[in-house]
Amino acid sequence: MGMGASTSTRRRSAPSRVSLGGANVSAAVFFDQRRLIEELHGKELVDAAIATMTRESQAELATLLPMSWASIATTTEFYLAVAHATAQDPVVFHRKMVRAGLERTFTTFWRFMMRLTSVEALLKRVALVYAKSYDRGVMMAKLIEPGVAEVTLSGWNDVPDLEIDAIVCGAEVMLQVSGRPSATVEASRMPGGARFLVRFTP
């Protein structure tokens, strides 16, 4: 869901569930991020934030399993609720938690990715990693020139801004934990999805 910066600390009214086209994200990825948030801010605060969410979203979180899918409508509402409870900008908070959570995911649940040593090998796995992360759209990657790769997302015309940001974080983390700390990713929207320009040291 696209959001601008917010500095309001007023108590939120009961939220309404926003439709995001029925897209879903890996529950395993979400659980890593939720556990990290609980470690940083405490389970009591997270539970209190969840209590402000819609009943539908609360019910989904209560029955969610690691090997299932979590609706992006629910995970977005979760991040908004916790960001509000911690008085943080939602976009900044989301980016920080996604990055830290994916660092954990790539070294545990997706540790097989770290056996790959070349960028070319990593790029060949981009579609697989994306398919394990989202149930909407298709991702493809190609090397344009030494040190520059293009990754395209198609089939998801209304991909939320937060998910584009999450994909940027994911690509950077994947490259950085595989030994390329200076890797950067720039995103731009395109018809049917988004384009990501990846720069790294060959």
Is residue 5 in some structural domain?
no
Average pLDDT, the chain: 84
Residue 143 clears pLDDT 60, i.e. is over it: yes
Whether 86 and 122 map to the same domain: the answer is no
Residue 138 lies in a domain: yes
Reported confidence tier of residue 111, pLDDT bands at 50, 70, 90: low
Query: How many folded domains does the chain comprise?
Result: 2
Query: What pLDDT does residue 54 have?
Result: 97
| Overall average pLDDT of the 57-77 stretch | 96
Tell whether 6 is covered by a domain: no
Angle at 74 between CA 60 and CA 29, to 5 degrees: 90
50-81: b (≥16 Cβ within 10 Å) or e: bebbbeebbebbeebeeeebbbbbbbbbbbbb
Which DSSP symbol is given to 137? -
Asked whether residue 7 carries a pLDDT value surpassing 60, the answer given is no
Give the domain range for residue 61: 24-106
pTM: 0.80
Residue 188 forms part of a structural domain: yes
Please tell me which residue, 172 or 38, carries the higher pLDDT value.
Answer: 38
**Cβ(148)–Cβ(199) below 8 Å:** yes
Domain boundary among 106, 141, 159: 106
